[in-house]
Structure 1
């Protein structure tokens, strides 16, 4: 799957399907069930939050002068659940079903100041980052979190300690109403009806995936969006939708992967394939796309 227990983040690019029989045989016999943030017990929510904060106290595994937390936005990857285990978290990976919070993202339990990630950026607490004024999150457990990197472009990274910042498009504003059309339950149901990965990927990426990034604003807009803890909840939700789409026709869709690859540094593009490697950037062992197409295959072991 796109987002996995290795918790890598990849875009929905890919290539021609291979026969279903060639998909790796499952070695997963007891998959864990991922749950929505609202379903977690209070103690598990607190443990998750504490573990994320703990990553900021751990040294970089990439030889950087920052922290283990900063390794993930540095290479645009997701936390490894095993890494959270090292910080004491024993619960499940979790996701945010934002279809339950249409036009009221800021009021979602995910954004609670007590057992959530905190709210919108503050008008009274601001900083300057790369010549721009940013609105700092001023409540919740991550209000003092200071990410170390900010992307200027997909290929240019700025080293600059700064506050966690957000700028939500929410409520009854015109922008919020327009955005909500592309992540509500009705629209998601339409997206899920796409029969082929090629069109499904386009609809999901161009709709809910991108819209939530822009609706959250702030850290969620640049390539260093893993700076914001909400990144991980959001991408687990995207993974969940893809999982549901696959389950509707597993024989065809567990090997339906099409599109192209892109090298951002030299702008080279090519036809992607299931044999391609997903590069972990040194945070974990590289894996083949085909090995993580199923959440209950040779590498992963979970369900929704």
Structure 2
């Protein structure tokens, strides 16, 4: 009996619903925190036809260690950890589970926005310490405020709908988005910085927008702006944000992603007031885990089926 072709998963597991679709393949797991050297060794040993990316980066060295590799499928929507030019040069297709975690991430963005506006964590800590700050505390009312969205894909649009339902004015920037619903007002990026009372990032990380939130752009924002990031940490110059929050120019930052992940310990944000932090878990829900796994597997199988059809035709 011939050995089954291998799918390498850069993680420790897949949802059972996703795994059930891979009956014709042997699935090899790289573990919870695979290093590049681990992935190279596994690729050399198993020569996978597909890699499903959960954690870690997929480098040219990993691709070269797997001559049979035809597809790299992201278990999620962001493909910045995959060297896409290297994949294209080797004829390897890169796919993403676009929209599979949109509900989960949009909800996390809303949780961070509300947490910042309503001082949820700070008031909880004060209450547990026996304080009653009703006479001195005022929260931010979001109804009537302007939310500026950078990125209007599946997550950004879902978050926009939630903000609209709360009575917020929604403005957004995305040069690639068309057919926007009428409650999103398209604007240029400069308008976002100048007008928004709160800004939420929902765009992929590219070489062009790395550190787009920096000392210069933050200085152009309204005093007291709230910043939310559930996209990629590299979109923000973290030292510049720390300075802006410290000065009070940025009222609060709700962050679910960071330049280096896992977050370094110690980190410049640790112990600093004005930061509401979560460990890049926006897309980590039971439903999203299934949706992303199934989408990643289906994308993988679609590419492999096309490759097989082309091989037979040739």
Q: TM-score range by the shorter chain?
A: under 0.3
Bigger Rg, structure 1 or 2? 2
TM-score (norm 1): 0.23
